Amino acid sequence: MKKKLALACTECGSRNYSKEVGTKIRTERLEIKKYCRYCKKHTLHRETK
């Protein structure tokens, strides 16, 4: 089964992306560098609750 999570920009805090991940146990939050349309640059996006 897959779990849906949201990715938020670390600079402006907007939730720009959603991603489906497997339900394996992870201890750290997912961090991906993606484009933020509000900051208009590539920034680090972290998994939110």
Per-residue pLDDT, 25: 83
Q: What is the pLDDT of residue 23?
A: 81
pLDDT digits (tens, 9 = 90+) for 1-49: 888 999 999 999 999 999 998 888 888 889 999 999 999 999 999 999 7
**Count of CB atoms within 10 A of residue 49's CB?**
6
Q: Give the per-residue pLDDT at 22.
A: 87
What integer pLDDT is reported at residue 32 of this predicted model?
A: 94
Q: What is the pLDDT of residue 31?
A: 94
Matching residue, tokens 């900051």: 39
Q: Beta-strand (E) ranges in 1-49?
A: 2-9, 15-22, 31-36, 41-48
